[in-house]
Structure 1
Amino acid sequence: MKRPLVVLSVGWMLGSILVGWCGLPPLVYFVGFVIALAGGGWIYYQWRKGIVVTLLMVGLCAAGWRIAWMEAHQSSAITPLIRGHGTQMVPVVGTIRSLPERDGDRLQFVLVVDRIRLGGKWHRLPKREPVQVTVILSTLREWQQAGQVEPYQTVKMPLTFSPPPLPRNPAAFDYRTYLAHRGIHWLGEGKSLSVMRPLAVAHYHPMNWVYGMRQRSGEVIERLYPPAIAGVMRGILLGERKAVPERVEQDYATLGIIHLLSISGLHVSVLLAGGYIGLKRLGMTREKAAIVVLVCLPVYVILTGMGAPVIRSALMAGMVLLATLWRHHRDLLSFLALSFLGQCVWNPYQLGEAGFQLTYAITAALIVGTHSLSEALPLPWSWARQMLAGTMIAQGVSLPFSFVHFHEYSLLSWLANLLFVPVVSLGVTPLGMMSLFLAQGWETGAAWLAHLVTMFVKGVEWGTDWMVWANPLHFTWQAPPVWWLACYALFSLYLFAAWCGAFRHTVVPHRICSLVCWLALLCVAAVMQEGGSATRVTFLDVSQGDCTVIETKTGHVIVIDGGGRDIRERRGWQARKTSFDAGKQVVLPFLKAQGIHQIDTLVMTHGDLDHIGGIQVIVERIPVKRVVRNPSSVQTPMEQEVMETIRRRAIPVYVPRLGRSVTIDEGVEWQFYHPGMESRRERNEDSLVFLVTIEGVRLLFPGDAGSPTETELLRRVRLPDIHLLKVAHHGSRSGTQAEWLKTLRPEHAVISVGERNRYGHPAPEVIQRLQRERIHIWRTDRQGAIQVEIEDGRLRFAPFLKIGSPFDMKK
């Protein structure tokens, strides 16, 4: 048994999967762990057999024990104290644990709460508990004071507690689970920084020194590099992804090179190798150079944000350096397994995160396969063979993870990695780090070096811009089933073995056969589960806005509106780097998770922000065959921006002809009732009003049309009875009048409305009218996304949230 740690790691992965299926108590896994360790040890002692099975069982039971124990101890000490106090502010005392992040008029940090004041007296928590805190900065003075808030500072402040939000749409990010896996069960909101009182300041805490160095490094980057490049360099050198411009981040994500904008294992390896070799060139012995790098290693990990790739690389590098010091054999795969086990024991939930899975899977594959594949490639240069082999292996391993976690993959990703990874990892990263060091004593030299790095970064951005613009090979992929993943693993191993010469006498046939099988499996992934036995209509929860996605059983896709986005002007210190965009944060993730490659028809009911604000990013990211809009002229800057993007993409725009029923897919028809070319009224009254009929089931979409439009339609159009009404204008009192409901006689009504919105939607009188007509009401503010499956003339409703979740506090 040469690599027992690798076998233990495999057992841990199996245990992590098993504990999710079984849900057994920790004691069962502990007993299994003891039995496996004792029994396996005795069998090995007696017969020198069974060590692999023993290690697998030990790893499996250890993982189950650790995860089950953490699940059993996930209770919150704050919950029983504040339950029943609603939304009132509660004074707390705690210690700031994370580096405070200032984003415009918001300050965020993790506060480890020690005491809470309730009922006129202080209650000490049985165990200190972290809370994710957001403080609203109301003045410039507060914004300046926020820059002086330090980690490991004990403070007293009033907070309003609320549970982290649940995901409200399919494929949405589960923020509640994300925080729970980090021991955080509550959000705390502070209304002002002026009420936060410092009680103790840990000026000499070593972490404060590291955080201060990180802040000063960021300031040096801002000084050396132009504004358009500084954010990218902060991401590459310091791991600050939030500083990267959104357009650059999107281009890199599209091409599958987003890992270049954060600290990856390759970055760490290059910097540590450069530092080690540089110290040896300066005259240090091998042992002294290794000790210096070892001492700097934890500082660098903390400085760059302590992400999984950084920790993994640092642990492996530390083990290699220790092996160098002790003159022992350096087994990289065992070092990788040891770092994997260490991180999993510390926080076993990391194994479920995409970044953690990618970094270990790719690194293991590179260690095992790069040399063999490079020897089989017909290239004369060793460095070229190594680079090409590494790129091919990394891309092959990352592909299924991209399908499962990100639902998109560019077939040009391998080329982008081959071209840009060496430039960033071997050029931008080490030279950028050197510019930071030079800036401490030689500003001119640092500026020259920064200028050279800027040229490299601009060259990479030019290349990514061109590849994104010219890339016809970027697709969305639905998450494949388990059987497909198993087949992909087998075919990939077959392909690797065939190209590395495992079949000596029939090399060419096996190479051709393995490649055909591998490509065929990709084709299966591209077409699987398109359409289905039922047509699905999804009313997405886009907060105070509208977006509906219709997927017919033959795969035809209609998107009606795209939700809104936050365009409130925040000037100067109030400007935030991140703001809500329904298209980016809700609609796109849903479309990608459904494996939707293109939108056949995009309907813009009218030009209000809450209906078209998210369309911009949708059109930029997913091909659209045609756009249908009302005949009104473009009236707002937002609408002008959206129409300009549609024109630039050469998407045809149609104005529907009223009154005529048109078949748009098998069993699906629509008919437009309003508005006509002569309509020149208030924008809401210019909304498209149309009927969609799916296998005899009739759905009416009135946009934001109000009572004037309803009255006009009742007068001049013979409206049929309908099965589902999309309630106009989020349930505003301006529409959905009683006569309208009596004529349409809907069985169900869907109201797309934001939770606790400032308009008071839906209006109580509208709800009363719907209830009076005995119409079943579905609301996105209470139930999240509403999915309706239509098959054989029947409707099946599936709200994403269940009303009355026991975790949610009573509003």
Structure 2
Amino acid sequence: MNLVWIAAAWVLGYGIQIYLQLSWFNYITSAIAALCIVLVYILRIPKRSIIGLVLVVIVAMGYYQANDKANTSDMEQLAIINGWIDQEVVVQGMIASPVAVDGDRVSFVLQVEHLLPAAGEGMQTLSEKMQISLKLQKQSEQDVARGWQRGDSLTLKATLERPSAARNFGGFDYRRYLHEQRIHLLLSAKGIDTAKQESIPWQLRPVQLLRWTDELRDALSSRIDRVFPADYAPFMKGILIGMRDEMDPELFDQFSALGLTHIIAISGLHVTVFIGALMWIMKRLRLTRETYLLVSMCLLPLYVLLTGASPSVIRAGAMAMIALWATRQRWGKDTLYILCLVAIGLLVWEPYYIHNISFQLSFIVTAGLIWGVPRVNELLPTMKPWITSSISVNLVSTLVSFPLSIYYFNQFSLLSPIANMLLIPVFSMIVYPVGLLALLVDFIWVTAGQWIGEVVGWVNAGCFFVMDFMQVWKGQLIWPSPNLMWIGIYFGLLMLIYIFAQAIRTYSRGLDPGVAVLTVGRANHYVLLAKCGAALALLCFAMLLYVGYTPDRWSSYGSVQFIDVGQGDAILIRTPSGKHIMVDGGGTVRFTKEGDGWRARNDPYEVGRKLVVPLLKKRGVHQIDLLILTHQDEDHSGGLKAIINQIPVRSFLFNGTLKQNASNTALFGNVLNKQIPMLAASKGQQYVIDDKTKIHILLPDMPTTGIRMEKNQNNSSVVFLLEMDGMHFLFTGDMEAPSEKELLADVALPKVAIDVLKVAHHGSKTSTSPEWLKWWQPQVGVISVGVNNIYKHPSATTLEKLEAANTQILRTDLYGEIQSIVKHGTIEWKAKLISNN
């Protein structure tokens, strides 16, 4: 069997098992299938290659299922049964990862060996990894936590928790993510007063090597801070040693938007330059060929560990080691076979790598380059070799990575190929090698190292300027995540296009009398057929891209999606004609006081950037036709800055007031800078979105001119009635009883029995009066509220009033995201966590 087909069958087996979840597959199934493979070849059964590949698929299915079934936590089940979840426990174990200190947050993995529940059920002995999250209470605790290292013994009192599952459709599933890290429980605590750390005596064991690696990375990080200008040191840490913790999140987003993240993800490019520089130095030292090849092989594992040991660098390092060994032994090298061998090895070692984005992109793009670049070179017109190679590498990598990029990141920049052609050579041939040189020179002569670092800073400044210039041009496309069938058809059509292009080239050359074995007439006939086939394949490819870009273009259903953003509101409305209205954007409320600057995190959680924008992109929201800010409290307005930055907005509707603070100043500044039309909502206005969708503004009752300053925004909320395909939704912001009373006193208020009420102010007792409910008679009341929020929302009083009005209550804290699908005068409901309640 061909190794390439074996690797493909192994991956296919994992994929089938992940999709079908066949519980009866296990190690025994794999062993039987493996034995059958041996028998098939011993008995020389006909079609044994095909039979063998089918059996490899079965072996892989059993192997994955057995590993997944073994990935369980006895402690998790025991904690659930005994009610220890969300209770304090005392744990003792060994720190099993680097300790990350970011502002007032400390995080690491603890290999727990003993656990004592607070209830006193007795000490539990175990061996299980748990994710630790500590919120520091004093600045002095930062230095204490920074002194902790991998391998230290730690005793800690903390709250035992389960990771949160995805709370939105298509949202990030933290529980699944940790499951794939073989972690099932969390421990959280405030402060480190209860922590007792002990450094263990030196022992020859794997954790000691990892501890040395951490110390070396920290030392190199400090040197990078010294060598390079402060503005560029965090970026150079990412590109040289894979440390991206300190990198500016906005700069990372810029790299991502232009398809350049592979520059800061240590991979084959970096390994190649590292090995090339290493071998060049050793050749200058006049070492023998066998010696410098062996030294390079031995240093590669250290380099992999030093740069973070991500799947992409493990892949590149393993391939390089095999290639170096083959070169040393003077064996022939088949790069594609080496790639497949490494892929199978890594997937056997850790089956969950199949889910890793870095693993998938690294192997698929590398395989595409190995197989595709020589073939594309043949199809290109004759040019200088470096031009041909540059074009083919860029074209192949873009085409191969495109489906995975839009599946995971939901964006593609039309400028990405140009950015890669312009900037990759600079980063790979100047920034990275010269940056390594600066770091090495720093060990000998600090000043010279800083001079070289300054030059690298100038080059980085030029590259970042080019990136800023490209960002001005609106080449960013938002793509919804395609399904696996779409991806399969995509690669199938690409292959078909190549086959026809190759046929055109072959038969066209047949017209040359010195080469032809075909008659001119027959060759022309074949060329014509190949051109027709290529045109048809290209047409199908264009149609596929169009369908993938707008998969719901032909849907006539409307929807109102109450996104779970915790304590806040974020509502996406899709009209039957495919237009999008966004009501509020959630926000992260932070309570700070003077002297809390040390608490600031390098990459703080911001609900708009981390949650809302990725969800909107995943759902294919190419633009927001109307963005409504009901009022300017942070839990409604905070996420809108990220939305406006990353998704085109056609109109911005707000309550006509201004609440002065830094966040709102930045928000309205963004709106003005992007020249988005601003509309002040006022009672009596009506907006016709399409022939089935209208918005009626009920409040506020604003003066016709001027914008007033308003600190208390609740009773200035935009209140509006949405009429969509015969259904009525009432949106209330955070309005309170005085606003309800004011509106009910209006004789012109329409008497409409509404289908859905967005319950005001997260179900606070200050809103939703009995008179309000009596007037509107809502069938369903949706409360957007955070789990265990500090405000104790929703109020028991409000819930009682809703129940008394015979209104069905749906809450995001209980059900996660709630969606209402409007179909021809009816509503269908979906809730993300409905099966868990």
Over 3 Å counting, the alpha-carbon distance change for 1:619 and 1:22 in structure 2 is closer
Matched, 1:614 2:639: yes
* Deviation per residue, 1:296-316 (Å, 9 max, x gap): 111111111110110000000
1:269-288 map, 5 Å: 269-288=272-291
Query: Which residue of the partner structure matches residue 325 of structure 1?
Result: 328
Residues 370/673 of structure 1: CA separation in 2 closer, same or farther (3 Å cut): same
2:401 is the counterpart of 1:398: yes
Matches within 5 A, 1:24-423: 24-25=22-23, 28=25, 30=27, 32-47=29-44, 49-82=46-79, 83-118=82-117, 120=120, 123-125=123-125, 127-203=126-202, 205-423=208-426
Matched residue type, 1:206: L
User: What is the rounded CA distance, in whole Å, between the counterparts of 1:377 and 1:315 in structure 2?
Assistant: 32
| SS at structure 1 position matched to 2:568 | coil
2:179 partner amino acid: A
Letter in 1 for 2:560: V
Tell me if 1:704 matches 2:727.
Answer: no
- The one-character-per-residue Cα deviations of 1:116-157 (angstroms, maximum 9, x if unpaired) are 1246576353x5100001122222221111111010112222
Deviation of 1:727 (Å): 0.9
**Structure 1 CA distance for aligned equivalents of residues 156 and 314 of structure 2:** 34
Please say which of residues 56-65 and 362-371 is displaced more in the overlay: 56-65
Q: CA distance change for structure 1 residues 21 and 541 in 2, over 3 Å: closer, same or farther?
A: closer
Q: SS of 2:245's equivalent?
A: helix
Q: Which residue of 1 aligns with 2:490?
A: 488
C-alpha change, 1:500 and 1:217, in structure 2 (3 Å) is farther
Question: Which shows bigger deviation, 204-213 or 605-614?
Answer: 204-213
Aligned partner of 1:781: which letter? D
1:354 shift after superposition: 2.0
Deviation of the 1:235 alpha carbon: 1.2
- Do the aligned residues in 2 keep the contact of 1:36 with 1:57 (CA within 8 Å)? no
SS of the residue corresponding to residue 159 of structure 2 reads strand
* Structure 2 CA distance for aligned equivalents of residues 559 and 711 of structure 1: 27
Deviation, 1:495, is 2.6
CA distance in 1, matches of 2:122, 2:296: 47
Change (3 A) 1:24 1:696: closer
* One of 665, 686, 689 as aligned partner of 1:640: 665
Q: Distance in 2 between matches of 1:86 and 1:47?
A: 57
Q: What letter is aligned with 2:416?
A: S
Equivalent residue, structure 2, for 1:778: 810
1:735-776 CA deviation, whole Å, 9 max, x = no partner?
Answer: 111111111111111111111111111112111111111211
Distance 1:108 1:662 in 2: 49
The match for 1:459 is 462
Tell me which amino acid in the other structure corresponds to 1:278.
I
Provide closer, same or farther for how the CA distance between residues 132 and 34 of structure 1 changes in structure 2, counting only shifts above 3 A: closer
Out of 587, 596, 603, the position equivalent to 2:612 is 587
Asked whether the 8 Å contact 1:563–1:613 carries over to 2, the reply is yes
- Distance 1:614-1:202 versus aligned 2 partners, 3 A rule: farther
| Alignment match of 2:452 (pick from 442, 449, 453) | 449
What secondary structure does 1:721 align onto? coil
* Alpha-carbon distance between aligned partners in 1 of 2:77 and 2:562, rounded to the nearest angstrom: 36
Distance 1:314 1:755 in 2: 44
Give the Å deviation of 1:189.
1.2
Q: Secondary structure at the match of 2:226?
A: helix
Match of 1:601 in 2: 626
**Deviations along 1:570-609, whole A, 9 cap, x unmatched?**
7443221122222112211121111111111001111111
Q: Is the 8 A contact 1:112 1:128 kept in 2?
A: yes
Alignment partner of 1:78: what SS? helix
Q: Which of 578, 583, 598 matches 2:603?
A: 578
Decide whether the 8 Å contact of 2:33 with 2:59 is kept in 1. Answer: no
For the Cα contact (< 8 Å) 2:682–2:699, is it kept in 1? no
Amino acid at match of 1:793: G
Report the alpha carbon displacement of residue 323 of structure 1 after superposing the two structures with TM: 0.6
Are residues 369 and 654 of structure 1, via their aligned partners in 2, closer, same or farther at CA, if it must alter by over 3 Å? same
Alignment of 1:523 with 2:549, yes or no, is no
TM-score (normalizing by structure 1)? 0.95
Aligned residues: 800
Alignment-derived partner of residue 15 in structure 1: 13
> Is the contact made by 1:606 and 1:629 (CA closer than 8 Å) also made in structure 2?
yes
Are residue 539 (structure 1) and residue 562 (structure 2) matched?
Answer: yes
Aligned-partner residue type, residue 400 of structure 2: V
Check conservation: 2:608, 2:640, Cα contact below 8 A: yes
Secondary structure at the counterpart of residue 263 of structure 2:
helix
Residues 10 and 59 in structure 1, CA contact (< 8 A), matched pair in contact too: no
Q: Give the 3-state SS of the residue equivalent to 1:184 in structure 2.
A: coil
- How far apart in 2 are the matches of 1:792 and 1:80? 46
Q: What is the DSSP-based 3-state SS (H/G/I as helix, E as strand, rest coil) of the residue aligned with 1:193?
A: coil
1:631 and 1:676 in contact (8 A); partners too? no
Q: Which residue identity does 2:495 align to in structure 1?
A: L
Structure 1's unaligned 5+ residue stretches are 806-811
Higher alpha-carbon deviation: 31-40 or 248-257: 31-40
Distance 1:187 1:389 in 2: 47
In the alignment, is residue 562 of structure 1 matched against residue 560 of structure 2?
Answer: no
Give identity over the alignment, percent. 31
Q: Contact 1:95 / 1:152 at 8 angstroms: preserved in 2?
A: yes
CA distance in structure 2 between the aligned counterparts of 1:775 and 1:629, rounded to whole angstroms: 29
Aligned partners of 2:286 and 2:480: how far apart in 1? 56
CA deviation vs aligned residue, 1:661-686 (integer Å, no higher than 9, x gap) = 44211211111111122496642111
**Segment drifting more, 182-191 vs 656-665:** 656-665
Contact 2:34–2:56 (CA under 8 A) maintained in structure 1: no
Q: 2:763 is aligned with what amino acid?
A: G
Letter in 2 for 1:766: T
* Aligned residues of 1:373 and 1:499 also touching (Cα < 8 A): no
Letter in 2 for 1:495: I
CA distance 1:79–1:510, shift in 2 (3 Å): closer
User: 2:4 aligned with 1:6, yes or no?
Assistant: yes
- Indicate the residue corresponding to 2:516 in structure 1: none
1:225–1:450 Cα contact (<8 Å) kept? yes
Corresponding residue for 1:808?
none
Partner Cα separation in structure 2 for residue 573 and residue 635 of structure 1: 25
Correspondence for 2:766: 734
Identify the range of structure 1 (650-659 vs 243-252) with the bigger mean alpha-carbon deviation.
650-659
Counterpart-to-counterpart distance in 1, 2:620 and 2:501: 31
Query: Which SS does the other structure have where 1:480 is aligned?
Result: coil
Matched-pair contact (CA < 8 Å) for 1:33–1:57: no
Whole-angstrom CA distance in 2 between matches of 1:375 and 1:449: 41
Q: Secondary structure at the match of 2:235?
A: helix
The answer on 1:665 being equivalent to 2:690 is: yes
Q: Report the residue type matching 2:803 in the other structure.
A: Q
Q: Contact between 2:589 and 2:634, CA under 8 Å: does it hold in 1?
A: no
**Inter-CA distance 227–567: structure 2 relative to 1 (3 Å threshold):** farther
Partner of 1:718: 749
Measure, in 1, the Cα distance between the counterparts of 2:608 and 2:124: 44
The answer for the alignment partner of 2:651 in structure 1 is 626
Letter paired with 1:17: G
Q: CA deviation at 1:789?
A: 0.6
Q: Which amino acid aligns with 2:730?
A: L
Q: What is residue 649 of structure 1 aligned with on the other side?
A: 674
Name the aligned partner's letter for residue 499 of structure 2: A
Show CA shifts across 1:63-93 (max 9, x none).
2122111222122122244332343321111
Q: Which amino acid in structure 2 is aligned with residue 117 of structure 1?
A: L
Distance 2:184 2:40 in 1: 45
Cα 1:522–1:60 change in 2 (3 A) is same
Q: What's the secondary structure of 1:669's corresponding residue? A: strand
The RMSD of aligned alpha carbons is 2.1
